[in-house]
Amino acid sequence: MPFAFYLTIGFVFGLVAAAMAFLTTYGEYSRNRFTAKRLVWRMSLEIAFVVLAFFIIIAIVIALVMSKD
């Protein structure tokens, strides 16, 4: 399969995972830990970006491994 296919799959699933990580983190931090909404938003966005980066990096690694013929 082409390299772009793996990147597309990684990006799509990465966006879904990042959205879920954001929602989970935002819900837990706002309920249990912090009262400042701006801080909760920022920390939740940071975690969402880390999850997105993780999925994209994993997709690149899988694309490089799978595309070697």
48 occurs within a structural domain: yes
CA distances from 14 to 31, 36, 67 (A): 25, 27, 20
pLDDT band at 3 (very low <50, low <70, confident <90, very high): confident
Identify whether 23 is part of a domain: yes
Enclosing domain of residue 42: 3-64
Any domain includes 21: yes
| pLDDT of residue 50 exceeding 60 | yes
How many residues does this entry show for the chain? 69
The string of pLDDT tens digits covering residues 30-49 is 888 777 888 899 999 999 99
Q: Is residue 38 part of a domain?
A: yes
Query: Looking at this protein, which amino acid is placed at residue 45?
Result: L
Q: How many domains does the chain have?
A: 1
14 pLDDT more than 90: yes
In the predicted model, is pLDDT for residue 56 greater than 70? yes
pTM of the model: 0.83
- Residue 69 falls inside a structural domain: no
What is the percentage of the chain residues whose pLDDT exceeds 90?
Answer: 52
